[in-house]
């Protein structure tokens, strides 16, 4: 539970309204609100899954069900796809049109339809897919979330859908968690920067007037979802109060201030309080402190979880009252339209006040007004860029910059093109594995829906014609168990390796999503490790390709490989990108957006406390020491080399209101052009709370020709060096700091302590 000191320190508004008030928008909201019945208001607060409208074919809407859900219950929102499978743009638009026409006829208020578009238009069979967010983070290039966000909004709108449940900004700080690949990695600053860019690209620059090529976002999952104590999805988290404010809130704060219109709430709990019932976080931190007038929506059936799973409510009525009174505005109650009647009952008996009801309804109506749905519940507009070649080129470029070269002994890569190549492993010929979850189906199904794209095998065969032989060795079994494997071909793969010059072993994970992705052992599967060990016994060099949604432990097989590439989940063009990189047609520039752990009982993040790493003698700590990890956050190799020099800071002494100007020279000392992600870190050398060993404070991606030197500039507000103290208040303390970048460092000093009175800086 949040302490009294933190609550007191965080009670004030920071003076900045997240979304500017538009008088015309507010007037329209009030005009609609005053004409609504109690039943119509209740219906606006409920969102149902499309399955409640499906006919017996599960491919079309049943008019009688539609009349019941919209006409009788007045439901204001629908989500998801029929039969857990993506549909074409035309099918989706036709379905939404039918729902919208009924909504306008029955209640005169447009329905708002929402889809889980996670890495592009991922619930349209003919939409454009981009690499998953974890890959975009690995580019350290803000351009790619902008490009993906624009394409996602454009193509979603083309299907008559104005709302996407994206971006995801849960900090991926526990590799056991099965949704780490949906996020932009483990660092709050990287997460905040990338999520803000995607939010602005999806919504556009004016959140009060969303255009027909933009959509509303639902930033998620607010918050602390990605660090469950058990490592399992939807299970409780214990988070220090200062970390909650300083790290986990940071990306959400950035996106609220960028105009995010809706947010989806964490399905689990923090410090014993289910987030859906946490009034301090939902109403306090977001609505009151930020003056945010957007809408909070639950995740899937999470109001029911308050009484069915968490046992903080006795029944449905108590759970609904608890959630709405805490700040929930729309209940995603997938299968139960009776939730509408529950809300009516609760208002009539006073357990939900008329004021709270109207506030929630205003927020729903405001979203619909801002989207222009009252004037244009449906829109007749051409979308000539839908599924365009340009979107495909962007996706390919993002995949190239996201795949990370982690090892390259004896410069085995790039391949010369003359080698006999054995391609093996369960991920070699799987488009599903390249895309991951939320791809055509909830659990992923790219092989079924997108055969026109190349798997790793197909891309390598195209790039090295006549040089590739394929023996999977280990294969994924069809069905619901994504971990099920068949290792009966292991012997054939090892035998084939004896006739090869180089082995490309593609290992990792099959696709999964959410709770089905829970697992009990972070080690790569025994079958796949046995395959790599058998291949290594032939003495032939191995290029190990990691195609996985989270960093699976490979400490025992990594030494057996000459080269290691982590492609993560690069989507439909990931195989083509990898083939070009292995051939040297493209150059590696990706860097890990997470710490790749080496030991199961040592799952660290890069910003660990200085006291976690002990050097040679008791009590002696080294800021330059590195935990025993497989690869650190920010690590990634290239086919060229870069040298850093001349790190400069504009001033040696600073105060809280200063902006530090930092520059560093980066020289391409190799023989080919390359891109480098330049990462700037800070270290607080003495603080009233044990400081993190270092924190990422800036990043820029630059292209550098051989022999060229580029000066990279950063502007670092001194306030970014502040931290949340034991009293729950932001503080920048007098003392020494160190900035570091590419092995260069500079010392500087804060000359006075500053403590902020507002909760957000």
Measured between alpha carbons, how far is 342 from 73 in angstroms, rounded to an integer? 11
pLDDT, residue 611, reads 78
Measured between alpha carbons, how far is 457 from 424 in angstroms, rounded to an integer? 9
- C-alpha distances in angstroms, 583 versus 45, 562, 577, 580? 54, 16, 10, 5
Q: Domain spanning 45-370 has what CATH number? A: 3.20.20.300
Q: What mean pLDDT is predicted for residues 188-205? A: 98
Extract the tokens encoding 678: 């330049």
pLDDT, residue 56, reads 92
- Active-site residue list: 299
CATH 2.60.40.10 boundaries in the chain = 640-755
Q: Does residue 705 have a cis bond before it (omega within 30 degrees)? A: no
pLDDT, residue 616, reads 40
Q: What is the chain's mean pLDDT, rounded?
A: 95
Residues of the chain with pLDDT > 70, as a percent, come to 96
pTM for the model: 0.96
pLDDT, residue 627, reads 76
DSSP output for 569-633: S-GGGHHHHHHHHHHTSS------SS-B-SBTTB---TT-BGGGS--SSTT---TT---S-SB-T
Sheet holding 695-704, edge to edge: 653-654, 744-750, 735-741, 674-684, 695-704
pLDDT in tens, 148-160: 999 999 999 999 9
Residues in the chain: 761
Is the pLDDT at 9 greater than 50? The verdict is no
Is the pLDDT at 185 greater than 80? The verdict is yes
8 Å CB contact between 69 and 335: no
What residues contact 380, with CB distance under 8 A and at least 6 apart?
Answer: none
CATH 3.20.20.300 boundaries in the chain = 45-370
- C-alpha distances in angstroms, 585 versus 257, 400, 415, 568, 674? 41, 10, 10, 20, 12
For residues 627 and 689, the model is more confident at: 689
Extract the tokens encoding 279: 């009034």
pLDDT in tens, 471-511: 999 999 998 899 999 999 999 999 999 999 999 999 999 99
Residue 393: its H or E element: helix 389-402
8 Å CB contact between 25 and 370: yes
pLDDT in tens, 610-632: 877 655 434 445 556 667 899 99
Measured between alpha carbons, how far is 235 from 237 in angstroms, rounded to an integer? 7
What residues contact 226, with CB distance under 8 A and at least 6 apart?
Answer: 170, 171, 172, 173, 174, 177, 179, 180, 183
pLDDT in tens, 404-438: 999 999 999 999 999 999 999 999 999 999 999 99
Alpha-carbon torsion angle 73, 78, 83, 86, nearest 10: 160
Q: Phi and psi at residue 557, in whole multiples of 5°?
A: -110, -15
CATH 3.40.50.1700 boundaries in the chain = 392-583
Alpha-carbon torsion angle 588, 590, 594, 595, nearest 10: 30
SS (H, E, C) 310-369: CCCCCCHHHHHHHHHHHCCCEEECCCCCCHHHHHHHHHHCCCCCHHHHHHHHHHHHHHHH
Closest residue by Cα to residue 405 from 245, 526, 582: 582
Confidence of residue 4 (pLDDT cuts 50, 70, 90): very low
Measured between alpha carbons, how far is 608 from 628 in angstroms, rounded to an integer? 12
Is the pLDDT at 1 greater than 50? The verdict is no
Q: Domain spanning 640-755 has what CATH number? A: 2.60.40.10
Extract the tokens encoding 524: 């790569």
The CATH topology of domain 392-583 is Rossmann fold (3.40.50)
């Amino acid at each position: 539970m949040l302490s009294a000191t933190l609550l007191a320190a965080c009670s004030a508004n920071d003076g900045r309204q997240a979304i500017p008030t538009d008088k015309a928008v507010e007037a329209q909201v009030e005009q609609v609100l005053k004409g609504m019945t109690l039943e119509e208001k209740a219906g606006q607060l409920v969102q149902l899954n499309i399955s409640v409208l499906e006919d017996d074919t599960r491919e079309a809407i049943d008019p009688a069900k539609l009349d019941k859900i919209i006409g009788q219950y007045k439901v204001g929102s629908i989500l998801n796809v029929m039969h857990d499978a993506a549909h074409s743009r035309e099918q989706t638009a036709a379905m939404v049109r039918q729902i919208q026409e009924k909504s306008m006829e029955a209640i005169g208020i447009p329905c708002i339809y929402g889809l889980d578009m996670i890495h592009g238009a991922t619930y349209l069979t003919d939409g454009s897919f981009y690499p998953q967010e974890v890959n975009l983070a690995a580019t350290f290039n803000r351009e790619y979330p902008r490009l993906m966000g624009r394409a996602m909004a454009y193509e979603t709108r083309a299907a008559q859908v104005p709302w996407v449940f994206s971006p995801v900004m849960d900090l991926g700080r526990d590799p056991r968690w099965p949704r780490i690949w949906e996020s932009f990695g483990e660092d709050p600053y990287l997460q905040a920067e990338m999520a803000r860019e995607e939010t602005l690209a999806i919504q556009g620059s004016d959140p009060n007037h969303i255009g027909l090529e933009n959509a509303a976002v639902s930033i998620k999952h607010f918050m602390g979802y990605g660090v469950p104590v058990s490592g399992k999805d939807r299970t409780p988290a214990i988070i220090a109060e200062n970390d909650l404010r300083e790290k986990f809130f940071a990306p959400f704060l950035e996106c609220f201030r960028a105009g995010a219109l809706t947010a989806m709430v964490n399905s689990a709990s923090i410090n014993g309080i289910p987030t859906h019932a946490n009034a301090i976080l939902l109403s306090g931190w977001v609505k009151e402190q930020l003056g945010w007038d957007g809408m909070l929506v639950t995740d899937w059936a999470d109001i029911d979880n308050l009484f069915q799973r968490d046992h903080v409510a006795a029944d449905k009525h108590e759970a609904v009252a608890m959630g709405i009174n805490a700040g929930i505005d729309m209940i995603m109650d997938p299968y139960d339209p009776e939730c509408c009647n529950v809300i009516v009952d609760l208002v009539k008996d006073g357990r939900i006040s008329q004021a709270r009801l109207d506030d929630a309804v205003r927020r729903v109506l405001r979203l619909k007004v801002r989207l222009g749905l009252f004037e244009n519940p449906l829109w007749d507009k051409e979308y000539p860029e839908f599924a365009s070649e340009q979107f495909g080129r962007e996706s390919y470029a993002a995949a190239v910059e996201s795949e990370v070269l982690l090892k390259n002994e004896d410069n085995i890569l790039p391949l010369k093109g003359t080698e006999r190549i054995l391609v093996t492993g369960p991920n070699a010929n799987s488009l599903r594995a390249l895309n991951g979850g939320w791809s055509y189906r909830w659990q992923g199904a790219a092989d079924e829906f997108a055969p026109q794209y190349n798997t790793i095998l197909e891309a390598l065969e195209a790039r090295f014609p006549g040089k590739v032989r394929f023996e999977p060795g280990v294969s994924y079994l069809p069905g619901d168990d994504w971990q099920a494997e068949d290792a009966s071909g292991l012997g054939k793969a090892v035998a084939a390796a004896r006739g090869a010059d180089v082995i490309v072993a593609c290992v990792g994970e099959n696709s999964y999503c959410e709770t089905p992705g829970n697992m009990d052992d972070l080690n790569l599967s025994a079958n796949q490790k046995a395959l790599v060990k058998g291949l290594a016994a032939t003495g032939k060099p191995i290029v190990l390709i990691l195609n996985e949604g989270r960093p699976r432990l490979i400490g025992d097989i990594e030494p057996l490989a000459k080269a290691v590439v982590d492609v993560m989940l690069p989507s439909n063009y990931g195989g083509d990108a990898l083939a070009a990189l292995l051939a040297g047609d493209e150059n590696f520039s990706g860097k890990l957006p997470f710490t790749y752990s080496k030991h199961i009982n040592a799952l660290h993040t890069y910003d660990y406390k200085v006291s976690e790493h002990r050097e040679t003698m008791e009590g002696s700590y080294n800021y330059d020491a590195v935990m025993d990890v497989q690869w650190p956050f920010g690590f990634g190799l290239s086919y060229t080399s870069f040298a850093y020099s001349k790190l400069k800071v504009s001033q040696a002494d600073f105060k809280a209101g200063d902006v530090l100007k930092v520059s560093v020279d980066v020289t391409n000392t190799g023989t080919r052009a390359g891109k480098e992600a330049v990462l700037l870190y800070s270290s607080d050398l003495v603080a009233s709370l044990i400081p993190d060993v270092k924190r990422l404070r800036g990043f820029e991606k630059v292209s550098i020709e051989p022999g060229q030197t580029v000066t990279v500039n950063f502007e670092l507000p001194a306030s970014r060096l502040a931290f949340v103290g034991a009293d729950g208040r932001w503080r920048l303390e007098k003392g020494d700091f160190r900035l570091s970048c590419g092995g260069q460092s500079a010392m500087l000093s804060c000359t006075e302590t500053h403590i902020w009175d507002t909760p957000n800086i």
